[in-house]
Amino acid sequence: MNTKIKNKIINHAKNQDPLECCGFIIEKNGDLDVIECENIAKDPLNNFKISSRDFLVNKHHHNILYIYHSHNEEENFSIMDKICSEESKIDMVLYVLKKNIFKHYTANNSDAVKYIGRSIDFHNTHCFDLVRKYYSEELNFNIKFPIDLNQTDKLEVTEKNLSEIVKYIQPNNMIFLQEEISLQVNDILLFNIDNYFHFAIYLGNNKILEQPRNAFSRIKNYCNYYNRKKIGIFRRK
Domain spans of the chain, in order of start: 3-112, 118-236
Closest CA to 185 of 142, 226, 230, 222: 222
Each residue of 50-71: pLDDT tens digit?
999 999 999 989 999 999 999 9
Separation CA 229–CA 226 (nearest Å): 5
Separation CA 141–CA 123 (nearest Å): 23
At 113 the pLDDT is 66
Instruction: Name the CATH code of domain 3-112 (choices 3.40.140.10, 1.10.599.10, 3.40.50.300, 2.40.50.140).
Output: 3.40.140.10
| Average per-residue pLDDT for the chain | 88
Each residue of 157-187: pLDDT tens digit?
999 999 999 999 999 999 999 988 889 989 9
φ, ψ for residue 92 (rounded to 5)?
-125, 145
Separation CA 84–CA 105 (nearest Å): 11
At 162 the pLDDT is 93
Each residue of 9-23: pLDDT tens digit?
999 999 999 999 999
pTM metric for this prediction: 0.68
Given a contact cutoff of 8 angstroms between Cβ atoms, the answer to whether 162 and 176 are in contact is no
Strand duo 91-96 + 63-71: pairing: parallel
SS3 for the chain is: CCHHHHHHHHHHHHHHCCCCCEEEEEEECCEEEEEEECCCCCCCCCCCCCCHHHHHHHHHHCEEEEEEEEECCCCCCCHHHHHHHHHHCCEEEEEECCCCEEEEECCCCHHHHCCCCCCCCCCCCCHHHHHHHHHHHHHCCCCCCCHHHCCHHHCECCHHHHHHHHHHHCCCCEEEECCCCCCCCCCEEEEEECCEEEEEEEEECCEEEECCCCCCCEEEECCHHHHHHEEEEEEEC
Q: Which CATH class is domain 118-236?
A: alpha beta
Q: Which residue has the higher pLDDT, 28 or 48?
A: 48
Q: Which residues of 54-91 are buried (b: 16+ CB within 10 A; e: fewer)?
A: bbeebeeeeebbbbbbbbeeeeebbbbbbbbbbeeebb
